[in-house]
Amino acid sequence: MRVMSNHYFFCGIMLYKSGDSMGKLYLLTGDYILNSKGKDAIVNATNKYMAYGSGICGVIYQNAGHSLEEYCHNTFPTDMVNNEVRITPGFNLNMDIIHVLAPKAYEESNPIEELLKGYKNMLDEILKHNYKNVLLCSLGTGIHGYKHEDVARPLIFLLNNFCKINDVNLYLNNIYPLYKDIYLKEYLNINALNLKNDLSKLDISSMKQYLIDNSLRENDIKNKYKEFVKDKELEDLCLTEKLICLQYTLDNFDVNKDQIMILVESMGDLDE
């Protein structure tokens, strides 16, 4: 990463340093709206009409209420263009909504580069509006044709570096653990984290702190354990589910290190 004056550059994308404080990147799984609790803003993967749509867009409009679509219709006379960002109130969501129109992968000669421009515009708006805690989804990975496997590395690199130089916490949400896994493995690689080796060296209390220090804790852990992990065999758990199981066990049971090590040792192969 090149530094010039007080500006930071990444692949041609300018990220503004807002001060000496540092935010964190968190990866969440589960319901998008439930995970938005307590945030300043939520990102909407919008359509160009800013109308009730499918996927994340439909969920946001449904929970914000009819006033959102009415507001968009009355406030914005033109359709959105690729990578444009617009901010609206959240109405029933009680937080602002950051609407981003992702390009369609199959219409672009350099689809990932184009997609990152939209994220850059979003990050600029986050700084401009002084948001401190923002929930976002993986843009373009629905009907716009991007694959999580192609997006994960450059996106995690971009978001991780943004949080390191700005006092903003970003929460990247994927509803299913297997989708989150794709981004989680890139996050671990970028931050030089090896779950099996790192956790094996720690006692129980230090394991808890490790999850905190490295932004690896989920919120609403009891419900996520019941939804994704309960009654499954260890060999059937993906990496995200194993972390949920680890956090749930450490938080709710008096276990010793020997009892938890079978779970820790199963986290060794990021390619499994």
For range 50-79, the mean pLDDT = 96
SS3 155: helix
What is the model's pLDDT at position 2?
28
Predicted confidence band at 32 (pLDDT cuts at 50, 70, 90)?
A: very high
**Tokens read off for 211:** 């999850």
Number of residues that this document lists for the chain: 272
Asked if pLDDT for residue 55 goes beyond 80, the answer is yes
CA distances from 129 to 123, 138, 187, 258 (A): 10, 21, 26, 48
Predicted confidence band at 18 (pLDDT cuts at 50, 70, 90)?
A: very low
- Model confidence pLDDT, tens digit, residues 237-247: 999 999 999 99
**Tokens read off for 165:** 């130089």
Asked if pLDDT for residue 71 goes beyond 50, the answer is yes
For tokens 């990463």, name the residue. 1
Predicted confidence band at 9 (pLDDT cuts at 50, 70, 90)?
A: very low
* Percent of the chain residues past pLDDT 90, beyond the cut: 88
**Tokens read off for 16:** 């503004």
The 8-class DSSP code of residue 4 comes to: E
- The domain 16-192 is placed in CATH, from the list 3.40.50.300, 3.40.220.10, 3.20.170.30, 3.20.20.140, at 3.40.220.10
What is the model's pLDDT at position 53?
87
* Percent of the chain residues past pLDDT 70, beyond the cut: 91
* CA distance linking residue 19 with residue 167, whole number of Å: 7
**Tokens read off for 25:** 């990147």
**Tokens read off for 110:** 């350099």
CB atoms within 10 A of CB 119: 24
- Model confidence pLDDT, tens digit, residues 76-133: 999 999 999 999 999 999 999 999 999 999 998 999 999 999 999 999 999 999 999 9
* CA distance linking residue 255 with residue 259, whole number of Å: 6
Q: Determine which of 59-73, 187-201, 258-272 has the lowest per-residue pLDDT on average.
A: 258-272
Asked if pLDDT for residue 137 goes beyond 80, the answer is yes
Burial class, 109, CB count within 10 angstroms (exposed 0-12 / middle 13-18 / buried 19+): exposed
* CA distance linking residue 39 with residue 65, whole number of Å: 18
Asked if pLDDT for residue 34 goes beyond 50, the answer is yes
Classify 31 in phi/psi space as left (phi over 0), alpha (psi -120 to 50) or beta: beta
* CA distance linking residue 59 with residue 63, whole number of Å: 6
SS3 3: strand
- Model confidence pLDDT, tens digit, residues 183-222: 999 999 999 999 999 999 999 999 999 999 999 999 999 9
Contact between 157 and 11 (Cβ < 8 Å)? no
Handedness of CA 141, 269, 265, 200 (dihedral sign): negative
Could you tell me which of 71, 102, 76 has the C-alpha nearest to residue 89? 71
CA-atom Rg of the chain in angstroms: 19
More confident residue, 179 or 269: 179
Contact between 10 and 157 (Cβ < 8 Å)? yes
The domain spans of the chain are 16-192, 193-272
For range 54-83, the mean pLDDT = 96
